Amino acid sequence: MDIKTLNPDCRHFKGHVPCEPHKKYGAHCEDCPFYDPVEQKICIIKLGAIGDVIRTTPLLHRLKREYPQAEIYWLTYTPNILPKSVDHVLQLIPKDILLLQSIEFDKIINLDKDPEACALMNTLHGKEKRGYALKDGRPWPIDETAEGKFFTGLFDDVSKENSKSYQEEIFEICGYRFAGEKYMLDNFEDGYSWPIDSSRTIIGLNTGCGGRWKSRLWADENWIALAEKLTAKNFLVLLLGGPDEHEKNLVLAKKSGAKYLGHFPLEQFINLVDQCDLVVTAVTMAMHIAIGLSKKLVLFNNTFNRHEFELYGQGEILEPEFDCPCYYAPECPNNCMQYIYVDRGVEACERLLVKG
Protein backbone atom coordinates (compact mmCIF):
# COMPACT_ATOMS: atom_id res chain seq x y z
CA MET A 1 0.00 0.00 0.00
CA ASP A 2 1.05 3.60 -0.66
CA ILE A 3 0.80 5.97 2.33
CA LYS A 4 0.04 8.79 -0.13
CA THR A 5 -3.39 7.25 -0.72
CA LEU A 6 -4.45 7.89 2.90
CA ASN A 7 -6.77 10.78 3.81
CA PRO A 8 -5.63 12.12 7.20
CA ASP A 9 -7.84 15.19 6.64
CA CYS A 10 -10.98 13.01 6.68
CA ARG A 11 -13.39 13.39 9.59
CA HIS A 12 -13.43 9.60 10.04
CA PHE A 13 -9.65 9.11 10.00
CA LYS A 14 -8.22 8.26 13.44
CA GLY A 15 -4.64 7.25 12.74
CA HIS A 16 -4.20 4.89 15.70
CA VAL A 17 -7.15 2.57 15.00
CA PRO A 18 -9.32 1.69 11.98
CA CYS A 19 -11.99 4.23 11.06
CA GLU A 20 -15.70 3.47 11.36
CA PRO A 21 -16.37 3.15 7.58
CA HIS A 22 -13.62 0.56 7.37
CA LYS A 23 -14.94 -1.44 10.33
CA LYS A 24 -18.51 -1.33 9.02
CA TYR A 25 -18.02 -1.59 5.28
CA GLY A 26 -14.38 -2.54 4.68
CA ALA A 27 -13.67 0.82 3.05
CA HIS A 28 -10.13 2.02 2.33
CA CYS A 29 -9.06 5.64 1.93
CA GLU A 30 -8.45 5.39 -1.80
CA ASP A 31 -11.74 6.16 -3.63
CA CYS A 32 -13.63 5.95 -0.31
CA PRO A 33 -17.32 6.96 -0.71
CA PHE A 34 -17.37 8.11 2.93
CA TYR A 35 -14.52 10.59 2.56
CA ASP A 36 -15.51 13.74 4.50
CA PRO A 37 -12.72 16.33 4.38
CA VAL A 38 -12.19 18.66 7.33
CA GLU A 39 -11.54 22.21 6.16
CA GLN A 40 -11.18 24.00 9.52
CA LYS A 41 -10.44 23.09 13.11
CA ILE A 42 -12.25 25.04 15.83
CA CYS A 43 -11.73 24.80 19.59
CA ILE A 44 -14.24 26.02 22.20
CA ILE A 45 -13.24 26.31 25.85
CA LYS A 46 -16.24 26.46 28.14
CA LEU A 47 -15.53 24.48 31.27
CA GLY A 48 -18.05 25.97 33.71
CA ALA A 49 -21.17 24.81 35.43
CA ILE A 50 -23.50 22.51 33.51
CA GLY A 51 -26.03 25.27 32.90
CA ASP A 52 -23.34 27.59 31.54
CA VAL A 53 -22.18 24.92 29.12
CA ILE A 54 -25.74 24.24 27.93
CA ARG A 55 -26.46 27.92 27.31
CA THR A 56 -23.29 28.25 25.24
CA THR A 57 -24.44 25.62 22.70
CA PRO A 58 -26.34 28.17 20.52
CA LEU A 59 -22.90 29.15 19.18
CA LEU A 60 -22.72 25.80 17.43
CA HIS A 61 -25.52 26.79 15.04
CA ARG A 62 -23.56 29.84 13.89
CA LEU A 63 -20.25 28.03 13.64
CA LYS A 64 -21.78 25.19 11.65
CA ARG A 65 -23.37 27.65 9.22
CA GLU A 66 -20.13 29.51 8.65
CA TYR A 67 -17.87 26.45 8.69
CA PRO A 68 -19.94 23.43 7.55
CA GLN A 69 -16.81 21.32 7.08
CA ALA A 70 -15.20 22.28 10.37
CA GLU A 71 -14.06 19.81 13.01
CA ILE A 72 -15.11 21.13 16.42
CA TYR A 73 -13.31 20.45 19.70
CA TRP A 74 -14.91 21.46 23.02
CA LEU A 75 -13.14 21.43 26.37
CA THR A 76 -15.52 21.11 29.34
CA TYR A 77 -16.03 19.63 32.80
CA THR A 78 -19.38 18.11 31.71
CA PRO A 79 -18.86 16.16 28.49
CA ASN A 80 -22.08 14.15 28.52
CA ILE A 81 -24.42 17.08 27.87
CA LEU A 82 -22.81 18.33 24.65
CA PRO A 83 -24.59 17.57 21.35
CA LYS A 84 -23.35 15.09 18.78
CA SER A 85 -22.43 17.93 16.42
CA VAL A 86 -19.30 18.43 18.56
CA ASP A 87 -16.68 16.14 17.02
CA HIS A 88 -14.33 15.91 19.99
CA VAL A 89 -15.47 16.46 23.58
CA LEU A 90 -12.46 16.87 25.85
CA GLN A 91 -11.82 17.48 29.55
CA LEU A 92 -9.24 19.48 31.49
CA ILE A 93 -6.96 16.50 32.00
CA PRO A 94 -3.33 16.03 30.89
CA LYS A 95 -3.92 13.76 27.89
CA ASP A 96 -6.58 16.06 26.41
CA ILE A 97 -4.52 19.19 27.07
CA LEU A 98 -1.54 17.59 25.28
CA LEU A 99 -3.76 16.82 22.31
CA LEU A 100 -5.06 20.39 22.06
CA GLN A 101 -1.56 21.84 22.38
CA SER A 102 -0.40 19.80 19.39
CA ILE A 103 -3.08 21.05 16.97
CA GLU A 104 -2.98 24.16 14.79
CA PHE A 105 -6.52 25.55 15.04
CA ASP A 106 -8.19 27.98 12.68
CA LYS A 107 -10.25 29.48 15.52
CA ILE A 108 -10.04 29.16 19.31
CA ILE A 109 -12.81 30.56 21.51
CA ASN A 110 -12.30 30.75 25.28
CA LEU A 111 -15.41 32.03 27.05
CA ASP A 112 -14.18 31.28 30.57
CA LYS A 113 -12.36 33.87 32.67
CA ASP A 114 -11.09 31.25 35.10
CA PRO A 115 -7.28 31.44 35.41
CA GLU A 116 -6.78 27.82 34.33
CA ALA A 117 -8.82 28.29 31.14
CA CYS A 118 -7.00 31.52 30.33
CA ALA A 119 -3.61 29.94 31.03
CA LEU A 120 -4.45 27.09 28.68
CA MET A 121 -5.50 29.59 26.01
CA ASN A 122 -1.99 31.07 26.13
CA THR A 123 -0.48 27.68 25.25
CA LEU A 124 -2.75 26.82 22.32
CA HIS A 125 -1.96 27.53 18.67
CA GLY A 126 -4.60 29.25 16.56
CA LYS A 127 -4.86 31.61 13.58
CA GLU A 128 -7.68 33.47 15.33
CA LYS A 129 -8.30 33.67 19.08
CA ARG A 130 -11.43 35.04 20.75
CA GLY A 131 -12.40 35.58 24.36
CA TYR A 132 -9.96 35.55 27.25
CA ALA A 133 -6.32 34.69 27.92
CA LEU A 134 -3.82 35.29 30.71
CA LYS A 135 -1.86 38.55 30.89
CA ASP A 136 0.73 38.96 33.64
CA GLY A 137 -0.94 36.16 35.56
CA ARG A 138 -4.44 37.67 35.34
CA PRO A 139 -7.39 36.86 33.05
CA TRP A 140 -7.68 39.50 30.34
CA PRO A 141 -9.78 40.10 27.19
CA ILE A 142 -8.01 39.21 23.96
CA ASP A 143 -9.60 42.10 22.06
CA GLU A 144 -12.30 44.75 22.39
CA THR A 145 -15.14 42.31 21.58
CA ALA A 146 -14.55 40.61 24.95
CA GLU A 147 -14.25 43.80 26.99
CA GLY A 148 -17.96 44.30 27.71
CA LYS A 149 -18.42 40.96 29.41
CA PHE A 150 -15.12 41.44 31.19
CA PHE A 151 -16.33 44.68 32.81
CA THR A 152 -19.66 43.17 33.89
CA GLY A 153 -17.72 40.45 35.69
CA LEU A 154 -15.62 42.98 37.60
CA PHE A 155 -18.11 45.61 38.73
CA ASP A 156 -21.62 45.02 40.08
CA ASP A 157 -22.87 48.47 39.06
CA VAL A 158 -21.80 47.86 35.45
CA SER A 159 -23.37 44.40 35.55
CA LYS A 160 -26.68 45.82 36.79
CA GLU A 161 -26.78 48.24 33.85
CA ASN A 162 -26.21 45.49 31.29
CA SER A 163 -29.15 44.97 28.93
CA LYS A 164 -27.74 42.10 26.87
CA SER A 165 -28.47 38.41 27.27
CA TYR A 166 -25.66 35.94 27.85
CA GLN A 167 -26.12 34.73 24.28
CA GLU A 168 -25.79 38.24 22.87
CA GLU A 169 -22.60 38.72 24.85
CA ILE A 170 -20.89 35.51 23.77
CA PHE A 171 -21.91 35.95 20.14
CA GLU A 172 -20.37 39.44 20.20
CA ILE A 173 -17.16 38.01 21.65
CA CYS A 174 -17.00 35.70 18.63
CA GLY A 175 -17.68 38.54 16.18
CA TYR A 176 -21.29 37.52 15.50
CA ARG A 177 -24.76 38.92 16.09
CA PHE A 178 -27.16 36.74 18.08
CA ALA A 179 -30.26 35.93 16.02
CA GLY A 180 -32.28 33.75 18.37
CA GLU A 181 -30.26 30.57 17.92
CA LYS A 182 -31.62 27.90 20.28
CA TYR A 183 -29.86 25.70 22.80
CA MET A 184 -28.74 22.29 21.56
CA LEU A 185 -29.58 19.58 24.10
CA ASP A 186 -30.38 15.89 23.70
CA ASN A 187 -33.51 14.74 25.55
CA PHE A 188 -32.11 11.20 25.97
CA GLU A 189 -35.49 9.74 25.05
CA ASP A 190 -34.21 6.19 24.54
CA GLY A 191 -34.28 3.88 27.51
CA TYR A 192 -36.40 5.74 30.05
CA SER A 193 -40.05 5.29 30.96
CA TRP A 194 -41.88 7.08 33.73
CA PRO A 195 -44.99 6.30 35.81
CA ILE A 196 -46.61 9.56 34.74
CA ASP A 197 -49.96 10.19 33.04
CA SER A 198 -48.68 11.97 29.94
CA SER A 199 -52.23 12.84 28.85
CA ARG A 200 -52.32 15.48 31.59
CA THR A 201 -50.57 18.84 31.63
CA ILE A 202 -47.44 18.33 33.74
CA ILE A 203 -45.85 21.15 35.72
CA GLY A 204 -42.42 20.48 37.18
CA LEU A 205 -41.43 22.31 40.35
CA ASN A 206 -37.65 22.42 40.74
CA THR A 207 -37.37 23.16 44.45
CA GLY A 208 -33.61 23.64 44.92
CA CYS A 209 -31.05 26.25 43.94
CA GLY A 210 -27.67 24.58 44.36
CA GLY A 211 -25.53 24.62 47.47
CA ARG A 212 -23.88 28.00 46.92
CA TRP A 213 -26.83 30.33 46.32
CA LYS A 214 -29.02 30.03 49.43
CA SER A 215 -30.34 33.52 48.64
CA ARG A 216 -32.43 31.97 45.85
CA LEU A 217 -34.30 29.48 48.04
CA TRP A 218 -38.09 29.77 48.10
CA ALA A 219 -39.70 28.68 51.37
CA ASP A 220 -41.06 25.13 51.64
CA GLU A 221 -44.51 26.42 52.56
CA ASN A 222 -44.57 28.33 49.27
CA TRP A 223 -43.75 25.24 47.23
CA ILE A 224 -46.45 23.32 49.11
CA ALA A 225 -49.05 26.04 48.49
CA LEU A 226 -48.07 26.33 44.82
CA ALA A 227 -48.32 22.56 44.33
CA GLU A 228 -51.72 22.44 46.04
CA LYS A 229 -53.15 25.31 44.00
CA LEU A 230 -51.89 23.91 40.70
CA THR A 231 -53.22 20.44 41.59
CA ALA A 232 -56.61 22.00 42.37
CA LYS A 233 -56.61 23.34 38.80
CA ASN A 234 -56.13 19.77 37.53
CA PHE A 235 -52.45 20.07 36.64
CA LEU A 236 -50.17 17.12 37.40
CA VAL A 237 -47.47 18.54 39.67
CA LEU A 238 -44.07 16.84 39.61
CA LEU A 239 -41.32 17.72 42.08
CA LEU A 240 -37.81 17.95 40.64
CA GLY A 241 -34.41 18.09 42.30
CA GLY A 242 -31.09 16.42 42.93
CA PRO A 243 -29.60 14.63 45.93
CA ASP A 244 -29.55 17.86 47.97
CA GLU A 245 -33.32 18.23 47.58
CA HIS A 246 -34.26 14.59 48.13
CA GLU A 247 -35.32 14.76 51.78
CA LYS A 248 -37.06 18.07 51.24
CA ASN A 249 -38.96 16.79 48.21
CA LEU A 250 -40.12 13.72 50.13
CA VAL A 251 -41.64 16.05 52.74
CA LEU A 252 -43.10 18.41 50.12
CA ALA A 253 -44.69 15.51 48.26
CA LYS A 254 -46.26 14.14 51.44
CA LYS A 255 -47.65 17.52 52.49
CA SER A 256 -48.82 18.74 49.08
CA GLY A 257 -49.84 15.58 47.26
CA ALA A 258 -47.44 16.37 44.42
CA LYS A 259 -45.70 13.51 42.63
CA TYR A 260 -42.04 12.87 43.41
CA LEU A 261 -40.11 10.11 41.65
CA GLY A 262 -36.68 10.63 43.26
CA HIS A 263 -33.36 12.02 42.07
CA PHE A 264 -31.46 10.66 39.08
CA PRO A 265 -28.20 10.82 37.11
CA LEU A 266 -27.94 13.82 34.77
CA GLU A 267 -29.11 12.21 31.53
CA GLN A 268 -32.09 10.60 33.23
CA PHE A 269 -32.94 13.87 34.97
CA ILE A 270 -32.91 15.66 31.61
CA ASN A 271 -35.36 13.10 30.28
CA LEU A 272 -37.57 13.56 33.34
CA VAL A 273 -37.67 17.32 32.74
CA ASP A 274 -38.65 16.54 29.15
CA GLN A 275 -41.87 14.96 30.46
CA CYS A 276 -42.99 18.37 31.74
CA ASP A 277 -44.99 20.94 29.82
CA LEU A 278 -43.83 23.75 32.09
CA VAL A 279 -41.13 24.10 34.74
CA VAL A 280 -41.06 26.47 37.72
CA THR A 281 -37.53 27.05 39.01
CA ALA A 282 -34.99 29.49 40.35
CA VAL A 283 -31.84 30.17 38.32
CA THR A 284 -30.37 26.66 38.23
CA MET A 285 -29.16 23.93 35.94
CA ALA A 286 -32.80 22.81 35.63
CA MET A 287 -33.66 26.22 34.18
CA HIS A 288 -31.17 25.73 31.35
CA ILE A 289 -32.33 22.16 30.79
CA ALA A 290 -35.93 23.37 30.51
CA ILE A 291 -34.92 26.06 28.01
CA GLY A 292 -32.86 23.53 26.06
CA LEU A 293 -35.89 21.25 25.83
CA SER A 294 -38.16 24.16 24.75
CA LYS A 295 -40.33 23.94 27.85
CA LYS A 296 -42.49 26.74 29.17
CA LEU A 297 -40.68 28.35 32.07
CA VAL A 298 -41.57 30.36 35.16
CA LEU A 299 -38.26 31.69 36.44
CA PHE A 300 -37.77 33.02 39.97
CA ASN A 301 -34.95 35.56 39.98
CA ASN A 302 -33.69 37.77 42.78
CA THR A 303 -29.89 37.91 42.58
CA PHE A 304 -29.13 38.30 38.87
CA ASN A 305 -29.74 40.79 36.07
CA ARG A 306 -32.95 39.62 34.38
CA HIS A 307 -31.63 40.69 30.95
CA GLU A 308 -29.02 37.93 31.19
CA PHE A 309 -31.63 35.24 30.53
CA GLU A 310 -32.84 34.40 27.03
CA LEU A 311 -36.17 32.57 27.38
CA TYR A 312 -37.00 32.52 23.64
CA GLY A 313 -40.53 33.80 24.24
CA GLN A 314 -41.35 30.67 26.25
CA GLY A 315 -41.25 32.02 29.79
CA GLU A 316 -41.82 34.68 32.42
CA ILE A 317 -39.41 36.01 35.03
CA LEU A 318 -40.88 36.68 38.48
CA GLU A 319 -38.90 38.85 40.87
CA PRO A 320 -39.53 39.92 44.48
CA GLU A 321 -41.84 42.86 45.05
CA PHE A 322 -39.10 44.30 47.22
CA ASP A 323 -36.01 46.38 46.48
CA CYS A 324 -33.21 44.20 47.81
CA PRO A 325 -29.42 44.69 47.55
CA CYS A 326 -28.59 40.96 47.33
CA TYR A 327 -27.10 41.19 43.82
CA TYR A 328 -24.92 38.14 43.13
CA ALA A 329 -24.97 37.41 46.86
CA PRO A 330 -25.00 33.82 48.19
CA GLU A 331 -26.95 34.97 51.26
CA CYS A 332 -29.82 37.46 51.38
CA PRO A 333 -30.17 39.61 54.54
CA ASN A 334 -33.86 40.22 53.81
CA ASN A 335 -34.98 36.79 52.60
CA CYS A 336 -36.41 38.69 49.64
CA MET A 337 -37.66 35.51 47.92
CA GLN A 338 -40.62 35.69 50.33
CA TYR A 339 -41.84 38.61 48.21
CA ILE A 340 -42.43 36.34 45.23
CA TYR A 341 -45.98 35.40 46.12
CA VAL A 342 -47.55 32.02 45.40
CA ASP A 343 -50.51 33.42 43.48
CA ARG A 344 -48.13 35.17 41.06
CA GLY A 345 -46.60 31.78 40.31
CA VAL A 346 -50.00 30.20 39.69
CA GLU A 347 -51.06 33.04 37.41
CA ALA A 348 -47.82 32.89 35.42
CA CYS A 349 -48.22 29.14 34.88
CA GLU A 350 -51.76 29.61 33.61
CA ARG A 351 -50.80 32.47 31.27
CA LEU A 352 -47.98 30.51 29.69
CA LEU A 353 -50.02 27.33 29.25
CA VAL A 354 -52.93 29.24 27.70
CA LYS A 355 -50.51 30.82 25.19
CA GLY A 356 -49.77 27.32 23.88
Give the rounded percent of residues in the chain with a pLDDT score beyond 90. 91
CB 331 within 8 A of CB 214: yes
State the pairing for strand pair 278-282/202-206: parallel
- Domain presence at residue 98: yes
Average pLDDT over residues 151-171: 96
- When divided into structural domains, the chain yields a total of 2
Residue 192 confidence (pLDDT): 92
Same domain, 210 and 351: yes
Pairwise CA distance, residues 121 & 140, whole Å: 11
Same domain, 233 and 158: no
Residue 48 confidence (pLDDT): 82
Same domain, 121 and 225: no
pLDDT at 212 over 80: no
Residue 194 confidence (pLDDT): 96
- Domain presence at residue 10: no
Same domain, 71 and 122: yes
Residue span of the structural domain in which 322 resides: 202-355
45: confidence class by pLDDT, cuts 50, 70, 90:
very high
- Domain presence at residue 183: no
Residue 356 confidence (pLDDT): 67
- Domain presence at residue 270: yes
Average pLDDT over residues 228-249: 97
Same domain, 158 and 211: no
Answer with the one of 153, 173, 193 that is the final residue of a domain: 173
Continuous H helices in the chain: 20-25, 50-54, 58-66, 94-101, 115-123, 147-154, 156-161, 166-173, 220-232, 246-256, 266-273, 285-292, 342-355
Residue 330 confidence (pLDDT): 86
- Domain presence at residue 338: yes
Answer with the one of 158, 173, 188 that is the final residue of a domain: 173
Average pLDDT over residues 308-326: 95
Tell me if the pTM is above 0.75: yes
Residues in Cβ contact with 206 at an 8 Å cutoff, skipping those fewer than 6 apart: 240, 241, 279, 280, 281, 282, 284, 286, 287
pLDDT at 304 over 80: yes
- Domain presence at residue 28: no
Same domain, 209 and 293: yes
Tell me the C-alpha to C-alpha distance, in Å, between residue 243 and each of 9, 45, 266.
45, 28, 11
Same domain, 153 and 284: no
- Domain presence at residue 262: yes
pLDDT at 211 over 90: no
Same domain, 346 and 260: yes
Supply the CATH number for residue 271's domain: 3.40.50.2000
Average pLDDT over residues 90-94: 97
- Domain presence at residue 161: yes
pLDDT at 210 over 80: no
pLDDT at 215 over 90: no
pLDDT at 268 over 90: yes
* Beta partners for residue 296, in sequence order: 278
Same domain, 276 and 350: yes
Residue 191 confidence (pLDDT): 78
Residues 98-129 have pLDDT tens digits of: 999 999 999 999 999 999 999 999 999 999 99
Same domain, 317 and 212: yes
